[in-house]
């Protein structure tokens, strides 16, 4: 019984990591898409740098 509970915990942790990775991946593509469609990016770039700062410092996204 205890082994199955541990396996379930490990599985849920892995899926959370995968979700976070896919979210970061989609954010990056959104940023690239906006960059190539020539919008004014100063505010978005500021937001992205804040996200990366929080990500590297605290390993969390700030929302």
Residue 3 is assigned to a structural domain of this protein: no
DSSP assignment letter at 37: T
Give the pLDDT score at 48. Answer: 73
The span from the CA of 45 to the CA of 31, in Å, is 9
Torsion on CA atoms 15, 20, 25, 27, rounded to nearest 10: 140
**pTM confidence score:** 0.24
Residue 10 is assigned to a structural domain of this protein: no
pLDDT value at 49 more than 60? yes
Counted residue by residue, the chain has a size of 63
Read off the pLDDT of residues 7-34 as tens digits, 9 standing for 90 and up.
Answer: 545 455 555 555 555 656 566 666 666 6
Average pLDDT over the chain reads: 60
- The whole domain housing 46 covers 25-63
Residue 60 is assigned to a structural domain of this protein: yes
Nearest alpha carbon to residue 27 among 57, 50, 4:
50
- Tally of domains in the chain: 1
């Amino acid at each position: 019984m205890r082994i199955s509970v541990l396996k379930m915990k490990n599985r849920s942790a892995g899926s959370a990591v995968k979700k976070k990775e896919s979210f970061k991946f989609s954010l990056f593509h959104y940023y690239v898409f906006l960059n190539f469609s020539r919008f004014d990016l100063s505010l978005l770039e500021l937001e992205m740098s804040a996200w990366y700062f929080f990500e590297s410092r605290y390993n969390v996204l700030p929302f």
